[in-house]
């Protein structure tokens, strides 16, 4: 279980300190899917970055399975069992996709394993596994490879920051199936940041972050009616309705 207590974050911009996140507390229970939504600039990614250790909180504490991780590095948190898919994934020139997946898995993956991870995100393994993780990959391809790196290993908590961003409808449908499978198996907790209705509807609980604070948190059934009429502070969750299912057309599994 993830427990976040009284998390605050301040950043300096042009010499002025600005409070980005203010007294945010919540939990993600074992096997639970918590979807975080809310208006742009509300502080969702900042909260995720603080959990992963990418940013340091000015106040507050974080625990994973009863162990405090607040002062741990990103690497230590990864070892503790947190997986993270960035909103804007970094690129690594000189590294192949299969090498990146092996690094993420923590062991050397066979070609077939790489192909099946890539297939799960709608990419043809044969075409992509030997490509470099550099600027030659499109934004959507990069995003899907990043998500595959999280699928490469079992975590206690997997965090996905707007997995839908830049992804076409067909690949999105495949992605949804993967999230549904993960959720059904309940082997790990999932924190998903999203504006997408289909993702929001998968949640056990929904949390709305607005103006750097938790505006609302509750069970999906209680939260959905107000979200769907835009009561959550111009929540944009109805913008992107997922498309029809499709396969990669890849025969390498
Ligand atoms: N290091 C920083 N320095 C200055 N401002 C920052 C910093 N990090 C975040 N911010 C600001 O904090 C606010 C929250 O940003 P954040 O990326 O967490 O929002 P978000 O809810 O994830 O938004 P979106 O839905 O658009 O992805 C934004 O106004 C952003 O510009």
Q: Is residue 251 part of a domain?
A: no
| CATH number of domain containing 224 | 3.40.50.300
Does residue 171 belong to any structural domain of this protein? Answer: yes
DSSP symbols for 102-114: HHHHTSPPPHHHH
Distance from Cα 43 to the centre of ligand 1, integer Å? 5
Query: Which residue's entry shows tokens 């830049």?
Result: 166
User: Residue with the nearest Cα to atom 5 of ligand 1?
Assistant: 11
3-state secondary structure of 7: strand
CA–CA dist 33, 246 (Å, integer): 25
Q: What residue's CA is closest to ligand 1, atom 13?
A: 41
Which of 9, 14, 21, 46 for mutating ligand 1's site (highest number of atoms within 8 Å of CB)? 46
pLDDT at 252: 52
What per-residue confidence (pLDDT) applies to 13?
Answer: 83
* Distance from C-alpha of 167 to C-alpha of 170, rounded to nearest angstrom: 8
Say if 82 falls within a structural domain: yes
Residue 112 lies in a domain: no
Number of domains in the chain: 1
- Residues whose CB falls within 8 Å of the CB of residue 133, separated by 6 or more in sequence, listed in order: 91, 92, 93, 95, 96, 97, 100, 142, 145
For the CA of 55, the nearest atom of ligand 1: 1
Residue 117 lies in a domain: no
pLDDT at 229: 61
pLDDT tens for the chain, 253 residues: list them: 999 999 999 998 889 999 999 999 999 999 999 999 999 999 999 999 999 999 999 999 999 999 999 999 999 999 999 999 988 888 988 999 999 999 999 999 999 999 999 999 989 999 999 999 999 999 999 999 999 999 999 999 999 999 999 888 888 998 999 999 999 998 899 999 999 999 999 999 999 999 999 999 999 999 998 887 654 444 444 444 333 334 455 655 4
Interface confidence, given as ipTM, is: 0.96
16, 74, 146, 164, 172 from 21: Cα distances, Å? 15, 20, 26, 24, 30
Which atom of ligand 1 is found nearest the CA of 193?
A: 22
The verdict on residue 235 lying in a domain is no
DSSP states of 85-99: E-SS---EEEEEHHH
CA distances in angstroms from 228 to 196, 220, 222, 223, 233, listed in the order given:
11, 11, 11, 9, 11
Q: Is the CB of 20 under 6 A from ligand 1?
A: yes
**pTM (predicted TM-score):** 0.89
Q: Is residue 144 one of the residues assigned to a domain?
A: no
Ligand 1 centroid to residue 111 C-alpha, Å? 38
- Give the neighbor-by-neighbor strand order of the sheet with 67-68: 16-28, 2-13, 59-64, 67-68
How many CA atoms lie within 13 Å of 171's alpha carbon, on the beta-carbon side? 21
* 189 assigned to some structural domain: yes
C-alpha 214 – ligand 1 centre gap (Å): 15
Per residue in 154-166, pLDDT tens? 999 999 999 999 8
The domain of 209 spans 2-89+158-228
Collapsing DSSP to helix, strand or coil, 220 comes out as helix
Compute the C-alpha angle 165/120/246, nearest 5°: 80
């Amino acid at each position: 279980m993830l427990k976040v207590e009284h998390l605050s974050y301040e950043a300096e911009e042009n010499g002025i300190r600005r409070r980005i996140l203010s007294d945010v507390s919540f939990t993600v229970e074992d096997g639970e899917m918590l979807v975080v939504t809310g208006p742009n600039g509300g502080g969702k990614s900042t909260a995720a970055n603080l959990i992963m250790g990418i940013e340091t909180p000015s106040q507050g504490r974080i625990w994973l399975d009863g162990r405090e991780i607040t002062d741990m590095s990103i690497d230590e948190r990864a070892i503790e069992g947190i997986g993270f898919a960035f909103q804007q994934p970094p690129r690594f020139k000189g590294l192949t996709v299969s090498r990146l997946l092996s690094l993420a898995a923590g062991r050397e993956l066979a070609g077939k394993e790489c192909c099946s991870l890539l297939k799960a995100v709608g990419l043809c393994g044969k075409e992509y596994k030997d490509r470099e993780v550099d600027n030659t990959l499109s934004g959507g391809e990069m995003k899907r490879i990043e998500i595959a790196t999280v699928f490469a290993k079992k975590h206690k908590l997997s965090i996905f920051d707007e997995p839908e961003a830049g992804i076409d409808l067909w690949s999105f449908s495949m992605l949804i199936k993967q999230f549904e499978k993960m959720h059904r198996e309940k082997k790990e907790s999932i924190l998903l940041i999203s504006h997408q209705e289909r993702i929001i509807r998968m949640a056990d609980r929904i949390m709305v972050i607005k103006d750097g604070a938790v505006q609302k948190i509750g069970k999906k059934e209680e939260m959905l009616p107000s979200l769907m009429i835009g009561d959550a502070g111009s929540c944009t969750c109805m913008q992107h309705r997922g498309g029809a299912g499709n396969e990669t057309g890849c025969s390498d599994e």
